[in-house]
Every structure is written in C-alpha cells, then in structure tokens.
Amino acid sequence: MHLRQVALQSYTIRAHCQTAADFAASMRRVRQIGYSAVQVSGIGPIPSAEVRRICDGEGLVICASHEPGATIVGDPHAVVERLGILGCKYTAYPYPHVAFDGVSAAVGLARQLSAAGEVLRRAGMTLAYHNHDIEFQKFDGRPVLEILYAESDPAFLGAEIDTYWVQAGGGDPVAWCARLSGRLSLLHMKDYGVGPDRKPVMAEVGSGNLDFPRIVRAAEASGCQWFIVEQDHGFDDAFAAAEKSFRYVKERLCS
C-alpha cells in the first residue's frame, strides 16, 4: 500500500484552535508530529486568510474543510469563495441540516447537494458527503446513505467515508469504500473500540478493531485522494493521540 496523502482532522485539537495564536501553536505541533496536511473544521472565528497564512507558514496543506450544511445548499458560491481563500479543493457536507423522516427527505437533500456540487465543480472544487451513523437508518429497505448516493449526480457529489461511523451504523467500511469507486475523494480514519463498560469508544487508528489495511486497499482502489486521521472525543491528550495514529499509519499502512 502507498497512501497518497495523509492529513489530520481533529475535533479534540480544535479546542486548542479558537484564537489565531492558539491555532498557530496547534498547527506547529501538528507539523512537528509529521502531518503535512490538515482538514479545517470547527475552529474559532479566525479569518480564512489568516488560517491560510498560518498553515502555509507551517508547511501544511489545507486538504479539505467542513462547511455548514445550510450554507452549502443555500449559498454554494460563498463556499467556493472561502475554499479559494484557503487554497482548498475539497469540502464535505458535515451533518444533515434536515430531518431524515422518509425517502422524500433523503431524495430532496441528494438533489440539493447535486446542485451545490455543480457550482463547486465549475470552480474546480469537489463537494463530498460526510456520514455518521444516522444515515444507516432505512427507508423502503435502503439505508439513507444509499439513497443519497443513488439520487445524486456522481459528477457533483463525492464521498468522505467515516470508518468509525459506518461501523457504528452497522455497515462495512471496506464494502462502502469499494462501492463508491470513483466518488471516494476523502476517507476519515477513526478506529472503533469497545470500552470496559462494553460501549463503543473512538480509538486511535490501529488501537481498535477495524481492519485498516483492507479499508485502505479498498479506498485506494476507489481513487481516494486524502486519508484523514480524525478524532472526535474521548482522548485525554489530543496531540498524543494524533501522534499515535500517525505512527501507526506511517509504519503499518504506508510502504
């Protein structure tokens, strides 16, 4: 295996990114760990140009972002403008801003995302869909995630598969990477473990139960461009966890 490009997206680190000074210090630490790219999401009210300047100064590529769902479908031109400032080609719809209460809701969102994605595509950018477990509820025997991809235009809506949330929803991360061949631009690598209380826990990559060698092979075969280590919550030391994942990825998943 040879991962094309490895990046970090961390909800735990973003707690240290609420001011420009803290964001700069955090990006310096991320670069020192060894990451050469980051996905930007949930940081403080820092101007996009300043975010770009800080990342450029640390030698970090902004590989992707998460933009508010309502903004993506309601004002995709604003998304294009922000991505342009960030120097970023990819963004992902992060979480449903509408209720999935039936097939029609999923179909409606799929078509809205296709329309927004067409605007981004004209600007040379790519819109992807980031899943959680909520998209694995079924209507008419099909999970919402299947409906979203079936009812959207593959030319305008790609995928950002999240390995943990696919597993949490009862899906197979390997199978979903494979079935989205040609649409899988981004992969969120987050491991799935079980705690002492028998409840699921988010774990550093390589510390849980997901078969990342198989996941990565399937994602590579589907054309994935960025392999993004993600941390949501449950890590006492966000930077130590990011480093643990990075070491596993470099030692076990790169050749």
- Determine the average pLDDT of the residues in 75-87: 98
Answer for the pair 148, 163: CB distance below 8 angstroms, yes or no.
no
Q: What is the mean pLDDT of residues 157-185?
A: 98
Return the SS3 of 65. Answer: strand
Model's pTM, two decimal places?
0.95
Strands 184-189, 191-194: parallel, antiparallel or unpaired by DSSP? unpaired
Check pLDDT > 90 for residue 14: no
Contact 228, 63 (CB under 8 A): yes
Q: Can you tell me the mean pLDDT for 215-221?
A: 97
- CATH class, domain 6-253, is alpha beta
pLDDT for 79:
98
Mean pLDDT of the chain: 95
Other beta carbons within 10 angstroms of residue 155's beta carbon come to 12
pLDDT at 1: 45
CA distances from 1 to 5, 35, 220, 221 (A): 12, 18, 8, 10
Q: What is the pLDDT of residue 53?
A: 98
* Averaged pLDDT, 97-103: 96
Gap between the Cα atoms of 254 and 7, Å rounded? 13
**DSSP per-residue letters across 151-215:** TS-TTT-EEEEEHHHHHHTT--HHHHHHHTTTTEEEEEE-EEEE-TTS-EEEE-TTSSS--HHHH
Which residues pair with residue 189 across a beta bridge?
Answer: 229
Tens-place pLDDT, residues 237-251: 999 999 999 999 999
DSSP H helices in the chain: 20-33, 48-58, 69-74, 76-86, 103-122, 144-150, 163-168, 173-179, 212-221, 238-248
Q: What is the pLDDT of residue 121?
A: 98
Amino acid at 109: L
pLDDT confidence band for 4 (50 / 70 / 90): low
